[in-house]
Amino acid sequence: MSRMTEALPQEPAMAHAREVLRHTFGYSGFRSSQERIISHLIDGGDALVLMPTGGGKSLCYQIPAIVREGTGVVISPLIALMQDQVNSLLQYGVRAAYLNSSLSHEEAALVERQLLQGELDLLYIAPERLLTPRTLDLLRQSRIALFAIDEAHCVSQWGHDFRPEYIQLSQLHERFPETPRIALTATADAPTRREITQRLKLQQAAEFIASFDRPNIRYQITENDGNARERLLRFIREEHPGESGIVYCLSRKRVEEIAAWLRSREIEALPYHAGMDNQTRQGHQNRFRQEEGIVIVATIAFGMGIDKPDVRFVAHLNLPKSIEAYYQETGRAGRDGEAADAWMVYGLQDVITLRQMTTASEAGEDHKRMERHKLDAMLAFCEITTCRRQALLAYFDDHLEQPCGNCDVCLQPPQTWDATVAAQMALSCAHRTGQRFGVNYLVDVLLGKESERIKGFGHDRVSTYGIGCDLGAAEWRSVYRQLIAHGLLSVDLEGYGGLHLTQASRPVLRGETPLMLRKTRKMKPKRRAKQIDAAEVGDADHALWQALRALRLELAQAQGVPAYVVFHDATLMEMAERRPRDRQQLAMISGVGDHKLARYGDAFLRVLRDIPDEGQGSPMDGLDRPEN
C-alpha cells in the first residue's frame, strides 16, 4: 500500500513527460538513460549526467523543466550557444528566453517580468550573471523548477575550458536547497568527474554515466605521405560534397594556406584562428552556423560552442596533442546521430612540433611530462593494428565487446610484416650516429645518400650506411614512426627531433623478440552505409531532398536562424524517404512536433506533393494509424 502511494505522483508526471517528448519535440521514444534521468529530476532529485556529445543531454533538463511547475534555469557558458538553444526551443513552441550581456536594458527587463509572472519554461543565464544580487533576488521571487548546469566540466581547473565563474555555482546548493540540480558534461575522465561532484556539491546526486561510444562516427587515420591536402580535397569532394565540416591544423599559417587552397578548388572554406581580427573570425563562425556546406579550417581555438548538429566530417591534418583532444575534436561531427567521418592524416613531424611546443611552454616539469605521455599515447593510438573504437573507448575505461566495423582498421585490416631485421637496422643506425639525429637524417644514412652533411659527420663510414636499400624512404619513415609508437625509440626532450634508444629496444636489437609492424597503405574512400548524397538515392529522391533543403533554408533565413533549427537533416531525410501526404502522416516523422507541424507542415507537404515519386505511392500508405 505504502509502495503504491509513493509511486503514484510519479506516474502522471512521466506520462506528461512522454507527451511532451512526442507532441512538443516530435520524437517517438526516449534514448538510453534519458527516461531515468528525467524521472529522477521530476521527482526532485539531483543528477550528474555524463553523456557524449550528441547523446541527447538537452532533453534531460528541458522536459523536466516543462513538466515541473516553474521555470528551469539553465547555466550555459557561451552566449552564442544560448541563442541557438533558445531559438530551437521557440521553434518547438517552448517558452524560452535568455539573460546575458547581449540584451538591452529593456529586453532584459521584459525577460525578468516573464520570469516573475511564471511565463517561461526555460531561462538560460550566463554564470557571472546568475550570481549577481539582482538575479538572485529575482530567482527568489520566482518559481524555479530546476537548475541545469551545462558544460559542467568548466568548473574543473585542470580542464582546458575552465571558467572561474563556475566555481561560485556551489552557492546554488546553499541558496536553493529545495530545487533539484542537474549538471551535464561530455567530458568523461574520472578526475574531472570528481572535481565536478566536489565543487558543485553534488555528493548526493545520482550519477548517470552513458557509454562514450559515438557509433555513427567513422574513424579513419593514415600516415601523411606528402600530399595530405590533395587527399583532403579528394575526401571532401567524394565523400562530403556540399556538406559542413571542420578541418583542424596545428598552426595559423597552415590554416590560412589550406583555407585559401580549398577555396581555389571551389570548396566554401573559411579560416578561423586566434590571430584573426575578432569581427572576421566571428563572421566566419556565424556563416558556418547559419549556412549549409561551409568548411571551417581552424586551429583548436575553434571548438566550444559548436553545437551545430549536422557537421558531417572533422578532418585533422595534424596529430592532436592527446587522445582526449582527438575524442573531443572529432566529437563535433555527427551530433545529430547521422553518419559522419573523423578523418586524419599525420606524420612524425607533428610529434616533433608538438614536443617543441611542450618544451617551449611555461608549464612546470610535471605538467610537461604528462603532456609528453599523452602525446605518446596519441601516437600509439594512430599506429595500432586493432579496432580504433575499442582502443579509444578503452582509453576512457569504457568497454566495447566486438570490433566496431566502422573504423579504418576494421574496414581494411592492416597487413603486418616481420620487421625484426629492419628494426635492428633502424635502431642501430640511431645508435651508431650518436642518438642525436632525426628521422630524415637517419633514413638518408640507411639509404646511403651522398650528402655533405653525412660526410661531414663521417657517417658514410658507419656500418649502417647504405644497408637499407631494400626499402624506400617512406617505408623507413614508417618503421621509425612505429618504433617510436611502440616505445623502442624516443624523441629527445629538447624537441629537436633527435632519436634515442630506450630500454625496451634492447631485446629487439639482440634479436630476442621478433617485431611485427604494419605496412604503409593508402586510405581508400569507402561509401558510408547511409549517406545524404545524390549517389545513393534516385534522381527523383535527390530532387526532393534538394527541394526540401531549399525550403528549409528559405524558412530559416526569413527568421535569421540556422537551417537545422527549422528541421534537422534526419527529419528531412525521413520525409524524403517516407513521403508523407497529409498532416497526419507528417506528424509521424521524427522531429515534427505539434508546433512545427502547424507552422511548416503545409509548406513541406506542398513540396512533397509537387515532386513526382515515380508512381510507387507513398511508403507511408498502409501504415497503421488512426483513421478518421
Residues interacting with ligand ADP, by CB under 6 A?
Answer: 27, 30-31, 34, 51, 53-59, 309, 335-337, 568, 590
All three cell numbers of 349: 613531424
By beta-carbon proximity to ligand ADP, the closer residue of 50 and 409 is: 50
Cross-strand pairs, 285: none
274 Cβ contact partners less than 8 Å away, ≥ 6 residues apart: 252, 299, 301
Kindly provide the residue ranges of all beta strands, DSSP E only, lying in 6-136, ordered along the sequence: 47-50, 71-75, 96-99, 122-125
Q: Is the dihedral of CA 223, 358, 272, 308 positive or negative?
A: positive
Beta carbon of residue 53, minimum distance to ligand ADP (angstroms, whole number): 4
Which of these segments, 164-172, 192-200, 289-297, 381-389, binds Zn ion (CB under 5 A)?
381-389
Q: Which does 56 bind (CB under 5 to 8 A by kind): Zn ion, ligand ADP, none?
A: ligand ADP
Give the β-pairing of 313-316 and 340-346: parallel
> β-strands 516-518, 416-418: how paired?
antiparallel
Contact by Cβ (8 Å): 28, 591: no
Considering the complex, state which of residue 155 and residue 387 has its C-beta at the smaller distance from Zn ion: 387
Q: Which of 141-149, 278-286, 400-408, 527-535 is the region at the interface with Zn ion (rule: CB under 5 A)?
A: 400-408
- SS3 at position 42: helix
What is the closest distance, in whole angstroms, from the C-beta atom of residue 599 to ligand ADP in the complex? 17
Nearer to ligand ADP, 335 or 372 (CB): 335
Shortest distance, position 168 Cβ to ligand ADP, whole Å: 23
314 or 462, CB closer to Zn ion? 314
- Cα(407)–Cα(543) distance, integer angstroms: 31
279-315 b/e (C-beta count within 10 Å ≥ 16 → b): eebeebbeebbbebebbbbbbbebbbbbbbbbbbbbb
Q: Which is nearer to ligand ADP, 212 or 219 (CB)?
A: 212
The span of 5-13, 89-97, 383-391, 435-443 binding Zn ion (CB under 5 A) equals 383-391
Question: Is 389 a binder of Zn ion (CB under 5 A)?
Answer: yes
169 part of the interface to Zn ion, by CB under 5 A: no
Partner from ligand ADP, Zn ion, none binding residue 389, C-beta < 5-8 Å depending on class: Zn ion
| Residue 196: all three cell numbers together | 565536478
Residue with Cβ nearer Zn ion (321 or 388): 388
Rounded to a whole number of angstroms, the minimum distance from the CB of residue 306 to ligand ADP is 11
Which residues have CB under 8 Å from 58's CB, separation 6+?
85
Q: How far apart are CA 618 and CA 575, in angstroms?
A: 11
Q: Which of 407, 548, 551, 586 binds Zn ion (CB under 5 A)?
A: 407
Q: Shortest gap between Cβ of 364 and ligand ADP (angstroms)?
A: 34
Q: Which of Zn ion, ligand ADP, none does residue 410 bind (CB under 5 to 8 Å by kind)?
A: Zn ion
Strands (E), 444-568: 489-491, 499-501, 516-518
One of 65, 410, 484, 544 touching Zn ion (CB under 5 A) = 410
Does 214 bind Zn ion (CB under 5 A)? Our answer is: no
Give the nearest distance from C-beta 562 to ligand ADP in angstroms: 12
Q: List the alpha helices (DSSP H) in 118-217.
A: 127-130, 133-141, 164-167, 171-175, 190-199
- The least distance separating Zn ion from the CB of residue 391, rounded to whole angstroms, comes to 9
Minimum CB distance to ligand ADP, residue 37 (Å)? 11
Backbone angles phi, psi at 207, to 5 degrees: -100, 130
Question: If contact means CB under 5 to 8 A according to the sort of partner, which of Zn ion, ligand ADP, none does residue 309 touch?
Answer: ligand ADP
Which contiguous run of DSSP H or E holds residue 220?
strand 217-223
231 φ/ψ sector (left φ>0, alpha ψ -120 to 50, else beta): alpha
Q: Which does 223 bind (CB under 5 to 8 A by kind): ligand ADP, Zn ion, none?
A: none
Partner touching 571 among Zn ion, ligand ADP, none, CB below 5 to 8 Å by kind: none
The number of residues in the chain equals 628
Query: Taking the complex as a whole, how short is the minimal distance between the CB of residue 409 and Zn ion, in angstroms?
Result: 5
Strand partners, 206: 47
- Identify what 53 binds: ligand ADP, Zn ion, none; CB under 5 to 8 Å per kind: ligand ADP
Shortest Cβ distance from residue 525 to ligand ADP (Å)? Answer: 27
Which of 17, 37, 339, 387 touches Zn ion by CB under 5 A? 387
**Residue 485's closest CA among 347, 329, 387?**
347
The helix (run of H) or strand (run of E) holding residue 584 is: helix 583-587
Give the interface with Zn ion as residue ranges (CB under 5 A): 387, 389, 403-404, 407, 410
